[in-house]
Amino acid sequence: MKVWLIGAYGIVSTTAMVGAKALERGIVDKTGLVSELPPFKKISEYVPLKFEFGGHDIRPLPTAYDAIMEHWESNRHFDREILDAVGDELKKIKACKGTALNCGEGIRELGRVETLEDEGLTLREIVDRIEKDIKGFADDETVVINVASTEPLPKFSEKYHTTIEGFEEMLDNDVKEYATASMLYAYVALKLGLPYGNFTPSVGSSLPALKQLAEEKGVPHAGNDGKTGETLVKTTLAPMFAYRNLKILGWMSYNILGDYDGKVLSHRENKESKVISKDKVLEKIMGYSPYTITEIEYFPSLVDNKTAFDFIHFQGFLGTKMKFYFIWDGIDAIVAAPLILDIARFLLFAKKKGISGVVKEMAFFFKSPMETDVINTHEQFVMLKDWFEKLAEV
């Protein structure tokens, strides 16, 4: 299959590329891939583990190889031999220039940036260019995934965001104020009939107008915001308190991370989307709102080695208060990259099975899954498994 990555030069994207190529050569094992677990065995009949990559980015680097070299030099997040074995494959991947419309101040942290809007293009011209780039790569087995930096919350417009007719009007009248990059990419993917996955908290295809477009075009889509680290642990652990009827009084989550992601998120408006995405989960699992503190702070020397400190204050029998602490020391790109391949495979599988609209059964992969309140990781896994098994039988 082919995967078009928005943010193709990022650490998650390039690590996914390295991993996919290394898997193809059989030089690494399949640890970390959900789609390779026994319940999903049949997926290889529909979507083999073989990927070609293309994408958009706003950093003018020569190829994906230059991008992964930069990430690898600062993180050394996997064995150098793996990179050497597949490096030539990444030299063939060159990202097209993308848009960073209304992506906020945080984008400046990425260094030299070149965008379509710098060329003075209108909204319609921007989407036409994105469409031309994707069409030049895509076939019937292509999925688009947004792995670009997190953008700020968009300025919402009833007129332009609720129906696809309104959205088209926004494009035709060049109303840039209400458009953000992620919605423009999502619009093009869905318009072309390509399944779309949103690994970021950015709005992407969750706009009502774009949900309508996906239904009309019969395209599956899923998001938002990959569930990979602290939120994964939180939504796996919180059900334990619920099952044992222990009352969570307060939950503090303090995340520190470096790298480009951390730099961009150190900007208040970019961070806002992420904090909302991480903060909402407890209320949905517990049915009440415990007191929460959710912080994300930039910590340069950690680069991609994100650390999360969580403190949980809870109440048990006889009103007695107790404490629980955990520390998650994850390497962000390593926990995220295999999920990019999983999401791409499940979305293409969904398309092959004629599924359209939001695939809520893929909630398992996301912090803020669309159109479902199932946040409990255990329930999400069962939901994914049941959905897959039922469809695979047909």
Ligand X SMILES: NC(=O)c1ccc[n+]([C@@H]2O[C@H](COP(=O)([O-])OP(=O)(O)OC[C@H]3O[C@@H](n4cnc5c(N)ncnc54)[C@H](O)[C@@H]3O)[C@@H](O)[C@H]2O)c1
Closest CA to 49 of 77, 16, 79: 16
Which stretch in 146-154, 215-223, 247-255, 379-387 sits in contact with ligand X by CB under 6 A? 146-154
Q: Closest-CB residue for ligand X? A: 10
204 vs 355, which CB is nearer to ligand X? 204
212 vs 231, which CB is nearer to ligand X? 231
C-alpha distances in Å from residue 169, one per residue of 119, 166, 173, 174: 22, 5, 6, 8
Binding to ligand X by residue 148, rule CB under 6 A? yes
Question: 61 CB contacts (<8 Å, ≥6 apart)?
Answer: 9, 67, 70, 95
Which stretch in 54-62, 287-295, 308-316, 374-382 sits in contact with ligand X by CB under 6 A? 54-62
Measured distance CA(197)–CA(351) in Å, rounded: 12
* Residue 23 and residue 115 in contact, taking contact as beta carbons nearer than 8 Å: no
* Residue 95 and residue 64 in contact, taking contact as beta carbons nearer than 8 Å: yes
Residues in the chain: 394
Binding to ligand X by residue 10, rule CB under 6 A? yes
Binding to ligand X by residue 4, rule CB under 6 A? no
Measured distance CA(20)–CA(16) in Å, rounded: 6
State which of positions 273-312 bind ligand X (CB under 6 A). none
x/- letters, 333..372, toward ligand X (CB under 6 A): x-xx------------------------------------
x/- letters, 234..273, toward ligand X (CB under 6 A): --------------------------xx------------
C-alpha distances in Å from residue 186, one per residue of 113, 173, 216, 293: 21, 19, 14, 32
* Residue 7 and residue 147 in contact, taking contact as beta carbons nearer than 8 Å: yes
Least gap, CB of 160 to ligand X (angstroms):
19
192 vs 355, which CB is nearer to ligand X? 192
Which residues of the chain form contacts with ligand X (CB under 6 A)? 6-7, 9-13, 56-59, 98-100, 103, 107, 110, 147-150, 181, 199-200, 225-226, 228-229, 260-261, 332-333, 335-336
